[in-house]
Structure 1
């Protein structure tokens, strides 16, 4: 539960810099390994400590001098253990780190299986798997080999102790200071004294493996979290949709500025299109608006309130998003649409699908809205997946819309229908539309042309074309290229 809660509190930046397979490995493999290590080691540890203490009391009652000799075994065994464990522990850390990398590779190859096949990189994927698997094997072998040395080394120390007690005990019997029965009994106790120590040494590989996994889990638990919502966070009043960026600056990397002194005022109900070359900062503006990242300087205000003073959950409920990447769940089509507003009725789901021009396709399926989507959502096309996410935005009925290449995966005819549906959806709502296909934003109230985190042009479609600037160049290059291809 602590780990699950931690994942919910981690910022988006953490997942940008850590592979999903490695995170999953920490949450599953490492935690399972910690549990196994504790279950198998704690009982043995308690039993060994009680045995050592009980046997030591009996040895002291027989002969204090011989008991002191037996006690020398403890620091000697500890020294041998520490000497070897220092080397083996590094191997255990490498083993579980390599396991995380291997899982990340498997997850990537499974997710991109079709792409691997299309480009004919199956052999390369297998070679990468073999390399990572060999790395896991090598680290595991060396970890087990080194930790396996500890038990025989401790056993050697125990045997030397046995010899020392036998020699000194024999001398005491010969000199008449100790009876033969006491020596025999003491030798038996010395065996029982060293046996738990050897058993603990045998369990050390489990303990070291568990410690290595614990380091990875605690590294996750110690990761920097999202800044907490203010203790006296303002409740979000009914949203009108006025958005203001006031001297906003932001960078993903400390030495690489992305957005500097960005200013924008958006009135309620207006549609703002954001265009520009790749890396201009278009999607970053949306990430800042949703508080996936916090600004480095300046402020973003929603209806006059700094969004950092609002609870994140309430802020994000004010937005509906349709992204270029469609994220669907292994559930029915009906449940995927209703995810936009939990508790939505069937009638509301049907209306949302109709508005997104998705209803006709769904009703043509044998199971209709009860059609299950598999894990890879491979039983419907990319365009249909996009339509489903648009229907999800319809049912959410948010005051502010964010459309990031929302029609990128649909054909031209469907795009026209979607644009008509989006026009109805945008009525009375503030909308941010990120687009590369400039044909989709002609009717926007205002078009922002961004480059290197700055607004280089702003205005309506015809106005920007008349200026003959960056937007006009983008527009002409896009449509002239299309005409050239057609010709």
Structure 2
């Protein structure tokens, strides 16, 4: 990324959008600003009182502070001891007050940042849940994960380590400088002679660290994507003995990450000693100037002793925040860059249209009549995968859809519950366009059982109910018994509380299918869509699954994506797809008699099964 691109990323409009999330907490934000101002005025107080003490000890005529009048009304102690006791009492009280203020300032800025992060993360996750599935086809999962977690966490730094702390530091520096000029403007100018060198060093440090941070961030993203993908595909890597090659690839990415971090460390290693050198030079100039003044006038030398001590403390109070202020500017810039990435997700308009205000939301279960009327659909622009698809399924009928891979079978079932948006035509359920339904009502009336069943890490019960507290354990057990799955679950360790682990890898494909059937029957859908569940499983599981399917489709409209033609002979209607178009429609016998596409598919599978059996 070039320097021009980096500067372009620091967009104040993005920062304004981030602060829009502060509105619910604006009073706490105001309190943090007030505390920043108060703490800035606290900064020069202790050096000032130390100066008074030194001045008094060296015999300089100093006005007696009111606190001494209050503590020692009878003046029964020496002046020196009065000052020592008074300053000690004041310093102790002041330290407690300042410490409490700094604690609350640190806490409230971090609390504010975490609250904004929580709200933004919720908003982003809500947005992701509503994105068109097409976005997940195009966007790597790791990218959305990074946006939701890592990038939003960087936005927290804008509050806890960035904008408000920078404001507090800058204000402190200004207050200290004003105090120094009021105390002795000549001495202040002498002390600030090396200051331009520090400003130049700070600028180059900021630029160097900023570039390093961006490189580190990109390297981290590359590492995350690489590791996530390789762990997901670890079975393939081990099966093809590719571990060593992938390890070398990982070492290259990891080396780039290390080098980027080292460049950042190098910048810090140079900058901090430079700050110390400039501070030492400033201190040396102070001593040199005051020594020159005192050489010609010993009395004045005593009078300037307090100023010397105070100015050394003032310089430390200036240089201490300057050590980190450049780093905090980088924190803000990286937070703005992260916010810009997050807002790109939030601004994504590729979502399914929301339910209309007058959405159709019947309370009773639908009958299940399905109609496709001249439906056209494309995943990418005008590259249609479905072309002029029209068919009807009466309530309670079973319709099978067959065709070669890529013919559009899965696309049809994805459109029914509005997972994707059609380009042209209409899809109707009980003679009502699916776009007119309340989305939740529509999807509760359509249950989908996919061939590749996804199970979340957690118990069997959680995967069946999907954490819906309205579904009781008794209802789950009753549904499992209805489709003949209860005995299988009871054989698992912990039965319904058995942890299936990530993606359900501790269960066989057939067992995962059976769990998905319970999900489907619990919603009591009007339409059941099956991406044929009996492919790629053993014969024993197939018999159990077939019995479950027979129970599921009873009294419901069923649309079956068929891979094995032998399983759909009893279907009321078979639709044959080829390259996104309907080529034939009819029963098993009717289609065989046509001797067309279906007959060829049947012949191919028959010959294949005959060859395998031989």
Maintained 8 Å contact 2:399/2:572:
yes
SS at match of 1:279: coil
Residues 246 and 264 in structure 1, CA contact (< 8 A), matched pair in contact too: yes
CA distance in 2, matches of 1:15, 1:420: 34
Aligned partners of 1:263, 1:121: CA distance in 2, in Å?
Answer: 48
Looking at structure 2, the residues matched to 451 and 340 of structure 1 have their Cα atoms a distance apart, in angstroms, of: 40
SS at match of 1:246: strand
Counterpart selection for 1:27 from 140, 148, 169: 148
Is the CA contact 2:510–2:545 (under 8 Å) kept in the aligned structure 1?
no
User: How big is the shift at 1:285?
Assistant: 1.5
The equivalent residue for 1:16 is 137
SS of structure 2 residue aligned to 1:24: helix
The equivalent of 2:541 in structure 1 is 414
Asked if the contact 2:445–2:523 (Cα under 8 Å) also holds between the matched residues in 1, the reply is no
SS of 1:448's equivalent in the other structure is strand
Match status 1:480 vs 2:607: yes
| Residues 1:460 and 1:146: Cα distance change in structure 2 (over 3 Å) | farther
CA distance in 2, matches of 1:353, 1:148: 65
Taking structure 1 as reference, are residues 126 and 60 closer, same or farther at Cα in structure 2, changes over 3 Å only?
same
Q: CA deviation at 1:474?
A: 1.5
Cα distance, 1:480 vs. partner?
A: 0.4
Alignment partner for residue 232 of structure 1, among 332, 357, 362? 357
**What is the aligned-residue RMSD (CA, Å)?**
3.7
Provide the rounded CA distance (Å) in 2 between the counterparts of 1:397 and 1:107.
37
Count of residues in Structure 1 that have an aligned counterpart in Structure 2: 485
Q: Deviations over 1:81-132 (max 9, x none)?
A: 5555456434433422332332233333333333433333332343333233
Over alpha carbons, which structure has the higher Rg?
A: 2
Q: Hey, what does 1:142 align to over in structure 2?
A: 263
1:3 counterpart = 2:124: yes
1:133: which partner in 2? 254
* Corresponding position of 1:352: 479
> 2:103 — aligned with what?
none
User: What are the residue-to-residue correspondences of 1:10-409 with 2, within 5 Å?
Assistant: 10-35=131-156, 38-41=159-162, 44-61=165-182, 81=202, 85-86=206-207, 88-146=209-267, 181=304, 188=312, 189=314, 192-204=317-329, 206-224=331-349, 226-237=351-362, 238=364, 239-254=366-381, 256-339=383-466, 342-409=469-536
Contact 2:483–2:547 (Cα < 8 Å) also in 1? no
What stretches of structure 1 of length at least 5 have no aligned partner?
none
Q: How far apart in 1 are the matches of 2:196 and 2:361?
A: 64
Q: SS in structure 2 opposite 1:258?
A: strand
The CA distance in 2 between the partners of 1:227 and 1:164, in whole Å, is 69
**CA-to-partner distance for each residue in 1:153-200, whole Å, 9 max, x for gaps?**
6777778888999999999999x9xx9849958964566445433331
Give the Cα separation in 2 of the matches to 1:73 and 1:132. 42
Residue aligning to 1:428: 555
- C-alpha separation between the residues in 2 aligned to 1:406 and 1:305? 29
- Would the aligned equivalents of 1:401 and 1:431 in 2 still touch at CA under 8 Å? yes
TM-score (norm 2): 0.68
Q: Is the 8 A contact 2:510 2:542 kept in 1?
A: no
Structure-1 separation of matches of 2:541 and 2:352: 42
SS in 1 for 2:611: helix
Task: Report the Cα distance in structure 1 between the residues aligned to 2:464 and 2:310, rounded to whole angstroms.
Answer: 77
Give the gaps of 5 or more residues in structure 2. 1-121
What is the distance in 2 between the residues matched to 1:144 and 1:231?
56
Instruction: Measure how far apart 1:466 and its partner are.
Output: 1.6
Alpha-carbon distance between aligned partners in 2 of 1:227 and 1:172, rounded to the nearest angstrom = 79
Alpha-carbon displacement from aligned partner over 1:21-77 (angstroms, at most 9, x marks no partner): 333233333334443564344674244123212123224435668878989999986
Cα 1:160–1:306 shift into 2, 3 Å: farther
Where 1:240 maps in the other structure, the secondary structure is coil
